[in-house]
A and B are shown apart, each in its own frame.
Chain A
Amino acid sequence: MRSWFTDLLIAGAVFTGVFLLAATSVAGQATAYRAPRTADGKPNLNGIWQALNTANWDLQGRAAAKGPVPSLGAVFSVPAGQGVVDGDEIPYLPAAAAKKRENQANWVKLDPEVKCYLPGVPRAAYLPYPFQIVQGAQNILISYEYAGAVRVVNMGTPTKAPGDSWMGWSNGHWEGETLVVDVTSLNDQTWFDRAGNFHSDALHVVERYTPRSADTLTYEATIEDPMTFSRPWKISMPLYRHVEKNARLLEYKCVEFAEELLYGPLSKKP
């Protein structure tokens, strides 16, 4: 039989434990936001979202600079911006660091965005165009205005990609408030930004979409590519909801804007 003292000790321990637990969860929730739910009880991420930063110019911080076309003056110059990389360092392997510098020096010639090629992941999320999340129960479709790029995130049992592609293969699941998307089978043709940051086809991206208020999400992407980087690294940024009443994703078939650049020199000279 337990003595009253043991009981008191146990009670005290339990009380302390409950108190600690409560305190922890309160601390955890101090910054957490609980999103409205969809009809099937999942955090509701439906909406038209867009990044508002300079990540597409350069994942890392940089000062403002002259644009690539002098005749366009201040209209298409490079804005200043703070980086979105944790620690502001991208851990390139030595050979990859050299290639990044080469990419940057030949940006306009080499950047797939200039040619209207599909943007890949994570770049699609912070291009200067909106994208829309449409949340079905089995699949979440993400439609990007830029180049009409699209992904279907499979929320069921994870499936394997039939092959490499520009937008990769996306399997998703929920972790509390967060939509976690595991992206594999990306090809080696896309870049991360206009600063020449790049990757190989060994790229593996884990994206996290976490509601942080009614009209903002936190977007995080962990980037792993042992052929290019010495360790995984992470970017994070807020995404903002388009709250305009008439907000719509519009057609942006940029192929026709890149044709003169790509095929103009092969046209018949008048």
Chain B
Amino acid sequence: MSHRSLASTSTLAVVAVAVLVALLAPSSATGQTQSPATKAPPAAKSWTPPQTPDGKPDLQGIWTDNTLTPFERPKGLGTKEFYTEQELAEATKKARQGSPGEEAELGAARQQAVRYDLELYGFDPGKLRFSSNRTSLITGPEGVVPPMLPAAKERNAELAAKNKGHEFDSYANRPLSERCILMGQERIPMTPGANEGNLLQIVQGPGYVTLLHEIDHSTRVIPTDGRPHVPQNMRLWQGDSVGHWEGNTLVVDTTNFTNLTAYRGSSEKLHLIERFTRAADDRMIYQFTVEDPATWAKPWTAEIPWTKSKGPVYEWACHEGNTMISTILRGARVAEAEAAKKGK
């Protein structure tokens, strides 16, 4: 939210209030969700996951994916995929002091353009943690998103150019997150922040797994009975998800995204495979592979450990409380009127 720049100072003030409100909102939830599990032991083979009454692996509960682990591997680390315990302890200490370098992604706890007392809003730096020994959430020797194909770069540049100079013209020019259509962490695949209320609740019924994302009350009702995707002409912001069980793992396949969903610049050919495996009573391994031949030359995979949380999951009514869009547009119209007056 620190990227916004507007001409009108009065608008800036209102936007600052909106940012503050946005910061406040997740804090109440995060305050209670941290669990200091910094180690990432590989799933113990002897541990048998509990089952639902109808005999499926039981993934239910309230989970948090908060972590300091950055999405992409810091450049200096080369092919180093894991930290030693000592390196991890050092990186955690640095992050808690607010100067993590490239090794950690501080999320909402990072230095803000306007300095708020983050502790006041529940962002306790002492609770920041890495959820595993991984140096990046993206797995493999490279640890970064593969380079974007030239045609995809061009496509995205064209879109950005079209919006340039029109950012404040209309609601349609604003990012999907601001419009409460797809908030950053509501998007799939689900990626974490360091300290942002990001609870996920799983409820299972016969033939279905449901996943409620606290952010924007985003709910996925995923059939696991082997049915096919909805017809290709039905394009959905969050795509169409169908699942099946492979041993103790829930595998979810998602296609049918819109050409505006654009996950990290993806096209409507985006194909997502997510894998949910319970590794311990209080630990889930969430893994996803992103495929989009129109955007990246090869698929790429990330792995994110989830930790059990007490909750509760709050209602996140984004659109209902959205004063940001009207404030931004009103500010832009005032700025234009003032500029026109000066020009005369």
Q: Are B317 and A134 in contact (CB under 8 A)?
A: no
Inter-chain CA distance A83–B93, complex, in Å, is 64
Q: Are B181 and A149 in contact (CB under 8 A)?
A: no
How many residues of chain A are within 8 Å of chain B by beta carbon?
47
Q: Is A156 an interface residue (CB 8 A)?
A: no
Interface with A: B131-139, B211-219, B266-274, B288-296, which one? B211-219
Q: Are A143 and B319 in contact (CB under 8 A)?
A: no
Q: Are B230 and A250 in contact (CB under 8 A)?
A: yes
How many residues of chain B are within 8 Å of chain A by beta carbon?
50
Residue of B nearest to A259 (CB): B171
Q: Are A253 and B314 in contact (CB under 8 A)?
A: no
Q: Are B219 and A143 in contact (CB under 8 A)?
A: yes
Mask, B236-266, CB within 8 Å of A = 1, is 1110000000000000000000000000000
Q: Are A263 and B219 in contact (CB under 8 A)?
A: no
| With contact pairs A148-B217, A152-B201, A255-B181 given, residues A250 and B171 touching in the complex (Cβ less than 8 Å) | no
Residue of B nearest to A139 (CB): B203
Q: Is A132 an interface residue (CB 8 A)?
A: yes
Q: Is A140 an interface residue (CB 8 A)?
A: yes
Q: Which residues of A contact B172 (CB under 8 A)?
A: 259
Shortest CB distance A110–B (Å): 14
| With contact pairs A136-B60, A250-B236 given, residues A263 and B320 touching in the complex (Cβ less than 8 Å) | no
Q: Is B158 an interface residue (CB 8 A)?
A: no
Selected contact of B203 from candidates A136, A167, A266, A267, CB within 8 Å:
A136
Q: Is A150 an interface residue (CB 8 A)?
A: yes
Mask, B138-149, CB within 8 Å of A = 1, is 000000000000
Shortest CB distance B327–A (Å): 9
Inter-chain CA distance A156–B164, complex, in Å, is 53
Inter-chain CA distance A195–B273, complex, in Å, is 45
Q: Is B333 an interface residue (CB 8 A)?
A: yes
Q: Which residues of A contact B313 (CB under 8 A)?
A: 152
Q: Are A137 and B53 in contact (CB under 8 A)?
A: yes
Interface with B: A16-24, A67-75, A158-166, A209-217, which one? A158-166
Q: Is A249 an interface residue (CB 8 A)?
A: yes
| With contact pairs A141-B210, A268-B169 given, residues A253 and B315 touching in the complex (Cβ less than 8 Å) | no
Selected contact of B53 from candidates A40, A116, A141, CB within 8 Å:
A40
Selected contact of A256 from candidates B54, B179, B208, B223, CB within 8 Å:
B179
Chain A interface mostly helix, strand, loop or mixed? loop
Selected contact of B55 from candidates A39, A118, A163, CB within 8 Å:
A39
Q: Is A138 an interface residue (CB 8 A)?
A: yes
Q: Is B204 an interface residue (CB 8 A)?
A: yes
Q: Are A253 and B223 in contact (CB under 8 A)?
A: no
Q: Which residues of B contact A136 (CB under 8 A)?
A: 52, 60, 203-205
Which residues between 86 and 143 of chain B lie within 8 Å of chain A, taking CB atoms? none
Residue of A nearest to B56 (CB): A39
Mask, B198-235, CB within 8 Å of A = 1, is 00010111111010100011110101000100100010
Q: Are A253 and B330 in contact (CB under 8 A)?
A: no
Inter-chain CA distance A45–B203, complex, in Å, is 15
Inter-chain CA distance A86–B313, complex, in Å, is 35
Shortest CB distance A123–B (Å): 14
Selected contact of B171 from candidates A40, A133, A263, CB within 8 Å:
A263
Q: List 21 A-B contacts (CB under 8 A).
A: A38-B53, A38-B54, A39-B53, A39-B206, A117-B319, A118-B315, A134-B203, A136-B205, A137-B53, A140-B203, A141-B219, A143-B221, A147-B319, A150-B219, A165-B314, A250-B230, A255-B180, A260-B171, A267-B170, A267-B329, A268-B332
Known contacts A39-B55, A250-B234; 12 further A-B pairs (Cβ under 8 A)? A118-B320, A132-B221, A139-B203, A141-B203, A147-B319, A148-B216, A150-B219, A246-B227, A255-B181, A255-B319, A262-B325, A263-B170
